[in-house]
Amino acid sequence: MKRVTRDIDPESAHDLLERVPRACIAFAREEGPIAQPVALIWRDGRYQVGVPSAAARRPDAGDEVVLLVDEGRYFFDLRAIYIRGLAEPVDAPEAAPEGHTWYEITPTRTVAWDYGSLREVDDDR
């Protein structure tokens, strides 16, 4: 059986991590989900995110977060890489923008997609 997919190998989306068109994290609190734009520094396979110091809510040490880096405005331009993992506070990386509280995300799951690469594939399930 065949199916249509937009999924791509996450390595083919690494350009998004290098130039970071747009990035945000999401995490859960008792009062509900929190979404926050972030600065991202991806170096040596490490995901370091800076939450603006003025943010009302920040992750706690060990919180599960989702980091989303995406680009595109129109359907076939939409590309993204999604990293789910655990956030731990860290010192600001070298050359990091000021005015942020920094975390390193240790990935537990990574997914990437590109709607411009929609294609039919064999369903292995």
Domains belonging to the chain, first-starting first, are: 2-115 (2.30.110.10)
Quick check: 97 and 59 in contact, CB under 8 A? no
Q: How do residues 71-90 score in pLDDT, each as one tens digit?
A: 998 888 899 999 999 999 99
User: Going by DSSP bridges, is the β-strand pair 79-89/64-71 parallel, antiparallel, or unpaired?
Assistant: antiparallel
The pLDDT, as a whole number, for residue 76 is 85
The pLDDT, as a whole number, for residue 3 is 87
Q: How do residues 83-121 score in pLDDT, each as one tens digit?
A: 999 999 999 999 899 999 999 999 999 999 998 888 888
Query: What 3-state DSSP class applies to 60?
Result: coil
Distances (CA, A) of 20 to 33, 67, 92: 23, 12, 18
The pLDDT, as a whole number, for residue 125 is 58
What are 4's two structure tokens? 């249509």
Give strand ranges (E) for 1-125: 2-5, 7-8, 23-29, 32-37, 39-43, 46-52, 64-71, 79-89, 100-114, 119-122
Q: How do residues 19-67 score in pLDDT, each as one tens digit?
A: 999 999 999 999 999 999 999 999 999 999 999 999 989 999 999 999 9
Helix (H) or strand (E) run with residue 56 in it: none
